[in-house]
């Protein structure tokens, strides 16, 4: 059930709890950088910088279409799928990729090595203390023969493997795609597709599992059952995790929304939440969401004491990006009569019939130890509330490379439907 009136009391209770915990806690070990930071090459920097534009245009394109569903996309991974199309494509099938990535002047070799470098950097589990499993595969129809050179280069740059599949036997095709995705993600993505629409093209598929490892964890005991308002009259029950701390925060009173940035371990990246004050469809915020506005908001955030409550849920989302990429300008690769993917197969016999982009994101309490020294001090007095019990937008921004690792929205988390309260 949803009792807004209880909120303040609970917050006070958590604070008291945390303060008493701090008396027991060991001194925290500050995060130490493991290896000397490598600087990105110029061409990798281009893709990092442009990932925000790709993120926003893809997000906007998808938000327009999908009424009220969750969105979860990794622009840097989408960029690498596009790189794969450029690797296998010739002529304008390949050059369209560069236009979308705003990299028309970049040489082929630098395109591929730049995209590879960026993805390797941001998904490095050691340097970033992140769980991010990314698997990519190109499925071709049974009739295709993959050119050795393509198989080699796509493994090298995009860690992409290859498989032939009889799409005409739809049932077993779906089964084997889902089995591959489940296996690649350690079971986190049991079903990425329910059907295959086109039986004569090639399919690029990404299957990912991402788990943020917070710079400072949520206390595992500060988790309880709450309601999440999908709409003002429809709530689902789920677990929420709570913690108070100093975070970059901005209360945009004009637009009636909050921005909150919570760093991930090693502080190389951060999760930025954009949430309206109250439950409402996200269209209003989405209309505002462009690069200029985002930069303005980021610039206004200030370190603030905030009592944060977030859903502790996992999101599994699978998108077919084929149509959205087409609308961003990838018109040839997806068109059977125009596509030239002859560097894949040696012949002009392939087109891209789907681009499945599937990710599981697990919002959890895990992270590095909390710096408890500020608890009970003036710094945390009268915290602002960030109570994420209604739809919000989020971006996982990489600070080191300035790229966008994920963009998405949570509008309908998993959970039992609650009896309507309002």
Ligand X SMILES: *[C@@H]1O[C@H](CO)[C@@H](O)[C@H](O)[C@H]1NC(C)=O
Residues in touch with ligand X (CB under 6 A): 50, 53, 87, 90, 102, 108, 125, 129-131, 149, 213, 265, 288, 290, 292-293, 343, 368
CA dist 320 and 356 (Å) reads 5
DSSP code for 370: P
Instruction: Give the C-alpha distances (Å, rounded to integers) separating 245 from 84, 232, 238, 308, 379.
Output: 42, 29, 23, 8, 9
Cβ 387 to ligand X shortest distance, Å? 25
Cβ 34 to ligand X shortest distance, Å? 10
Cβ 173 to ligand X shortest distance, Å? 28
Dihedral of alpha carbons 121, 127, 131, 135, sign: positive
CA dist 55 and 102 (Å) reads 13
Q: Which is nearer to ligand X, 104 or 373 (CB)?
A: 104
* Beta carbons of 392 and 289 less than 8 angstroms apart: no
Q: Which is nearer to ligand X, 10 or 102 (CB)?
A: 102
Q: Which is nearer to ligand X, 46 or 119 (CB)?
A: 46
Cβ 85 to ligand X shortest distance, Å? 11
Cβ 265 to ligand X shortest distance, Å? 6
Tell me the backbone φ, ψ of residue 77, rounded to 5 degrees: -80, -40
Query: 């913690």: which residue's tokens?
Result: 243
Q: Which is nearer to ligand X, 87 or 317 (CB)?
A: 87
Q: Which is nearer to ligand X, 229 or 264 (CB)?
A: 264
* Beta carbons of 73 and 406 less than 8 angstroms apart: yes
Cβ 307 to ligand X shortest distance, Å? 25
CA dist 133 and 177 (Å) reads 17
What's the half-sphere exposure (Cβ side, CA atoms, 13 Å) at 260? Answer: 27
Helices H, strands E: what count in the chain? 12, 15
Cβ 410 to ligand X shortest distance, Å? 22
Q: Which is nearer to ligand X, 98 or 226 (CB)?
A: 98
Q: Which is nearer to ligand X, 356 or 404 (CB)?
A: 404
């Amino acid at each position: 059930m949803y009792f807004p009136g209880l909120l303040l009391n609970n917050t006070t209770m958590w604070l008291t709890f945390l303060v008493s915990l701090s008396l027991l806690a060991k001194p925290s070990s500050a995060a130490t950088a493991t290896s000397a930071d490598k600087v990105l090459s110029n061409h990798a920097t281009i893709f990092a910088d442009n990932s925000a534009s790709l993120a926003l245009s893809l997000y906007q394109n998808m938000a327009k279409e999908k009424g009220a569903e969750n969105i979860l996309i990794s622009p840097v991974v989408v960029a690498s799928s596009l790189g794969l199309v450029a690797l296998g494509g010739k002529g304008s099938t390949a050059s369209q990729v560069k236009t979308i990535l705003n990299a028309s002047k970049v040489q082929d070799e630098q395109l591929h090595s730049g995209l590879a470098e960026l993805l390797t950097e941001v998904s490095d589990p050691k340097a970033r203390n992140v769980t991010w499993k990314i698997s990519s595969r190109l499925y071709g129809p049974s009739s295709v023969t993959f050119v050795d050179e393509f198989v080699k280069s796509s493994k090298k740059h995009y860690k992409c493997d290859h498989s032939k599949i009889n799409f005409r036997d739809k049932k077993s095709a779906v089964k084997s795609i889902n089995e591959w995705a489940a296996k690649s993600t350690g079971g986190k993505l049991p079903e990425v597709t329910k059907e295959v629409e086109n039986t004569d093209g090639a399919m690029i598929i990404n299957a990912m599992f991402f788990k943020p490892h917070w710079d400072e964890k949520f206390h595992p005991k500060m988790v309880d059952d709450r309601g999440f308002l999908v709409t003002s009259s429809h709530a689902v029950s789920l677990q929420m995790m709570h913690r108070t701390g100093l975070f970059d925060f901005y209360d945009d009173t004009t637009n009636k929304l909050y921005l909150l940035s919570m760093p991930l371990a090693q502080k190389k990246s951060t999760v930025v939440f954009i949430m309206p004050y109250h439950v409402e469809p996200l269209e209003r915020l989405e209309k505002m969401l462009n690069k200029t506005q985002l930069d303005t908001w980021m610039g206004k955030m200030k370190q603030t004491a905030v009592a944060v409550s977030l859903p502790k849920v996992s999101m599994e989302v699978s998108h077919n990006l084929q149509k959205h990429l087409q609308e961003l300008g990838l018109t040839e690769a997806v068109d059977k009569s125009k596509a030239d993917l002859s560097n894949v197969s040696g012949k002009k016999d392939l087109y891209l019939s789907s681009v499945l982009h599937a990710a599981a994101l697990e919002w959890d309490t895990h992270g590095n130890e909390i710096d408890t020294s500020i608890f009970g001090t003036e710094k945390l007095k009268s915290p602002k509330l960030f109570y994420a019990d209604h739809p919000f937008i989020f971006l996982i921004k990489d600070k080191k490379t300035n790229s966008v690792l994920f963009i998405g929205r949570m509008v309908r988390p998993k959970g039992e439907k609650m009896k309507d309260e309002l």
